[in-house]
Amino acid sequence: MLDIEEVLIDKIKNDVLDQPGRKLSSSDSLIRSGLIDSFHLVDLALMIEEVFHVKLEDWELNADYFDTIEDLAVLIKTRSN
Amino acid sequence: MFLLDIVILLAAFFIIGLIRNPKLRTALITVASVLFVFYLQPLVPIRNFDYWFPFLTLSFTLLTWAFCARDPDLPIQANRDELALILFPMLIVALSRHTPFNTLFTASRPPALWLSLPAIAFLFILLTGSVQLLKKNLTVLYSVLITLLISLLVIIKMPCLALKASEFLRSISGQQIDSALASDIRWLGYSYIAFRLLSVVIDRKKGRKLFVSPGQFVSYVCFPPALAAGPIDRLDRFAKSLAGNFLASIPYDDAFQRLAIGAFKKFILADGLAFIALSQQNHAQFQSSCWTWSALIAYSLQIYFDFSGYTDIAIGLGLLVGIRLPENFNHPYLKPDIARFWNNWHMTLTQWIRSYVFNPLTRKLRSNKQRPLPQWLIVLLAQFVTMGLIGAWHGVTFNFLIWGAWHAFGLFIHQLYNDRMKDRLLALQQRPQIYQLYLLLSWLLTFLFVALGWVWFVLAEPGDAMAFYRMLLMGRIP
């Protein structure tokens, strides 16, 4: 699970947010805090599909389904299995 | 909904909430959903349409269930009892025509039995016949349902089409068409009902399976507290509550607190502010820039208290039967930018539009690796399409489309600014005092932008809106 979280942190900082210098932890709120806006949320879904081969549906891209990197890692782990 | 309707709903839901048996409580919620669809429908000037609009609501709901939310492996007879719970109250409403209580359920006397009874029988035959259709390829049927639901929404929301529809319905009802008005097509809650049904059909078309019973489905689409003004819940979330997972005990404190807050917002604050708020009737009467600004700020607060008050009432009523409806507002006027405003204003509508329009569209535009579009163009297209649709949902008229475009432009500029300034903003967060000042200015700018946008929302004629803007900036022009 930690591997998934590390990859997610790296990809979100570098590819989605394009802010390599930003501090980001697994428990930080991504959506409710406004850190990832609705436009970059789609980029996040595309990145997860490409890297982890896990599909995030359009209706799942909101804080009811995940809000932190920990939530995302659990979602990815569950679907990979 | 009027205050009396809310009191009647409160009494009915309070009694239903006292039932501890989940199955019995679910059944009563289903019956209440059917009866209140008729009861809450306002009087329609077209003969018998305060019966036929609710009838059509329930017919579309049941047919959508039959084609999209029914377990195809179960024969329709397996849901016989629940279908009876829906069709029997419909029959009672129709038969009430010949009782002393012939306006108990409907705003006017229900239609003649030779019309209403065959209609119910026809609906039953369609439901039974749907089993055969389910064995075939349903993609075309789903597309037809989607087109039908959207077409009806467009007819209701577009005044020229609504007028034609009124003329047509008046002609088949044997009424004079000269007195037809676009406002005759008062179909209670159709905007919300259509979006709930559309989400189910679109999900099913994409292959998502979610099977619920007809009673659960009717309760989801026609849940009385959320019928007239939302929120637009998701079927999977709502169905969990109804499948016996009610809140462990009824949170009466929460429920009555939400009801009291909602009633205070709606009937005291919003209705009080209405005396000085900008409206279609008073927009030309303001004599000074000061009063013009006051009217605009009053309207901004009025629409918030009105709408969020209704949501509080809906959530409070839901809690009385153990169902927690989703929140629709989260202090939107306190947010420091327009993107966060829209994440917290009419949240269930914006979430719906994001799920079914913005996300698929952005995904499609972003996935084109062969000829990638520049990011700014993708943002521009996605925002204008999305906000244009939110504008059109309120009414397919020029002023609502401009209002949508106003917010699309704001969101577009905000996205560009945020992408360009994100490193500087991150650095600014290290200096808390300056960052707080920045947030304060950002909030003020956002509130002004939203408030100025309401002018397009309130005033139907763009010329009136422009004149009002001149008044705001320069005072009365001689």
Each residue's pLDDT tens digit, A18-41: 888 888 999 999 998 888 988 899
Instruction: Return the HEC string of B85-109.
Output: HHHHHHHHHHHHHHCCCCCCCCCCC
Residue of B392, B33, B403, B67 whose CA lies nearest to B242: B33
Tokens for B172, please give them: 């088949």
Q: Predicted ipTM?
A: 0.92
Does residue B394 carry a catalytic annotation? Answer: yes
Domain extent listing, chain A: 2-80
Tell me the pLDDT of chain A (81 aa) as tens digits: 668 899 999 999 998 888 888 889 999 999 988 889 888 999 999 999 999 999 998 988 988 889 999 999 999 999 887
Q: Give residue B466's pLDDT.
A: 93
Asked if B339 and A43 come within 8 Å (Cβ–Cβ), the reply is: no
Instruction: Please give the residue of chain A at the shortest CA–CA distance from B207.
Output: A57
- State how far the alpha carbon of B471 is from the alpha carbons of B294, B303, B398, B468, in Å: 12, 21, 21, 5
Q: Give residue B91's pLDDT.
A: 95
Residue of B450, B452, B457, B6 whose CA lies nearest to B265: B6
CA B299, B274, B315: angle at the middle one, nearest 5? Answer: 80
Whether the ω angle into residue B231 lies within 30 degrees of 0, i.e. cis, is yes
Q: What is the CA radius of gyration of chain B?
A: 24
Flag whether residue B361 sits within 8 Å of chain A, measured between CB atoms. no
Residue length, chain A?
Answer: 81
Q: A2-80 architecture in CATH?
A: Orthogonal Bundle (1.10)
Flag whether residue A17 sits within 8 Å of chain B, measured between CB atoms. yes
Q: Give residue B193's pLDDT.
A: 96
Residue type, B124: F
Give A46's contacts in chain B (Cβ within 8 Å).
363, 366-367
What whole-number distance in Å separates Cα of residue B339 and Cα of residue B365?
A: 20
Tell me the pLDDT of chain B (478 aa) as tens digits: 788 999 999 999 999 999 988 889 999 999 999 999 999 999 999 999 999 999 999 999 999 999 998 888 888 888 889 999 999 999 999 999 999 988 899 999 999 999 999 999 999 998 888 767 666 767 888 999 999 999 999 999 999 999 999 999 999 988 989 889 999 999 999 999 999 999 999 999 988 888 999 999 999 999 999 998 889 999 988 988 776 566 668 889 999 999 999 999 999 999 999 999 999 998 888 878 889 999 999 999 999 999 999 999 999 999 999 999 999 999 999 999 999 999 999 999 999 999 999 999 999 998 877 788 888 999 999 999 999 999 999 999 999 999 999 999 999 999 999 988 888 888 898 899 999 999 999 999 999 999 999 999 999 999 999 999 998 988 765 5
Residue of B98, B346, B394, B407 marked catalytic: B394
Flag whether residue A46 sits within 8 Å of chain B, measured between CB atoms. yes
Flag whether residue B430 sits within 8 Å of chain A, measured between CB atoms. no
Q: Which of A58, A60, A64, A67 to mutate to test the interface with B (most CBs of B within 10 A)?
A: A58
Residue of B316, B317, B314, B322 whose CA lies nearest to B250: B322
Flag whether residue B356 sits within 8 Å of chain A, measured between CB atoms. yes
Asked if B359 and A39 come within 8 Å (Cβ–Cβ), the reply is: no
Tokens for B151, please give them: 């077409």
A57 vs chain B: nearest CA distance in angstroms?
Answer: 9
Instruction: Please give the residue of chain A at the shortest CA–CA distance from B367.
Output: A46
What whole-number distance in Å separates Cα of residue B152 and Cα of residue B249?
A: 40
Flag whether residue A19 sits within 8 Å of chain B, measured between CB atoms. yes
B356 vs chain A: nearest CA distance in angstroms?
Answer: 7
Under 8 Å CB-to-CB from A51, ≥6 apart: which residues? Answer: A7, A11
What whole-number distance in Å separates Cα of residue B142 and Cα of residue B22?
A: 33
Task: Count the neighbouring beta carbons within 10 Å of the beta carbon of residue B20.
Answer: 10
Give B418's contacts in chain A (Cβ within 8 Å).
37
- Please say whether the beta carbons of B110 and B93 come within 8 A: yes
Torsion, CA B162, CA B166, CA B167, CA B172, rounded to 10:
140
Q: What share of chain B is helix, strand, coil (3-state, %, to 5)?
A: 75, 0, 25
